[in-house]
Homo-oligomer: A and B are copies of this chain.
Amino acid sequence: MSCCVGEPVPRRVLLVSAHPEPRSFHAALRATAVEELESQGCIVTVSDLYAMRFKATVDHSDFPAPDTHEPLNVSLAQRRSWKDGSLAADIQTELNHLLEADLLLLMFPLWWFGMPAILKGWIDRVFLSGVVYSRSAVFELGRLAGKTALVAVTTGAPSQAYGPNSLNGEMNDILMPLQRGVLGFTGMQVLPPFVGYQVPYVGDEGRADILAEWRLYLRGMNDLVPLVMPRLADHGDALGVGVRAN
């Protein structure tokens, strides 16, 4: 990440974590990530959403500006509140962390083929229309271009359950709405996901193996080839843009 003469600029990491139990294996994976990334010289900010009791739902209180008689249009309210600096404080704080980060690391247990609601709510609330994307600024032109993102999940089922033609479906298909629809869409490079499979059933030794693999993954991540994303340039006048319906 160094670009200047003198000391290299430390890489800033925002680690967003979503698990209700501080004594979970998820917490051990998170601690490993913090330790490993700090040992690489990164500055790591952790948003532990459950510990923060992060509000999961977008609603009127996110936009405490005066025109409360208007029906809530979330996209418009996000753009207006960002512009006039009237966003709810918790959103502003998380947004600042996001904009400062070089690497966004999302860690969660896979619940019903997706993110726990508290993490989806973090995206719904913090990924502001007009800030992280706009009509003509998505994918390679997205406002978060230059950043890297990485999803780290744990599962109940074994790896075979997420292979080609598997019962559960392929992991990258399951993660498509997040990896492509959120992270790629806003311009981030998305690394292949890290998956800790079958964590409730692998025992202490299996869990130690997953922690070791996770550490190796983080050590080698700069050599990983990012996932292929669509390019706005290949899609004419970008009819596709618009991710929030009313």
Contact = CB atoms under 8 A, between A and B. Distances in A.
A44 to B, nearest CB: 23
Contacts of A50: 57, 59
B246 A58 contact: no
- For chain A, the bracket of interface size reads 35 or more
A189 interface: no
A237 to B, nearest CB: 11
Contacts of A139: 167
Given A160-B240, A239-B157, A117 B113 contact: no
A201 B39 CA distance: 50
A50 B196 CA distance: 34
Given A157-B240, A182-B113, A246 B124 contact: no
A176 B200 CA distance: 25
A93 interface: no
Contacts of A113: 176-178, 180-182, 185, 243
A198 B60 CA distance: 22
Copies in the complex: 2
A75 B110 CA distance: 12
A40 interface: no
B26 A72 contact: no
A30 B112 CA distance: 25
A230 interface: yes
B169 A181 contact: yes
A246 B199 contact: yes
A242 B201 CA distance: 10
Interface of A: 20-21, 23-26, 50, 56-60, 71-75, 109-118, 120-121, 123-124, 127, 138-139, 153-158, 160-161, 166-169, 173-174, 176-178, 180-182, 185, 196, 198-201, 230, 232, 235, 238-246
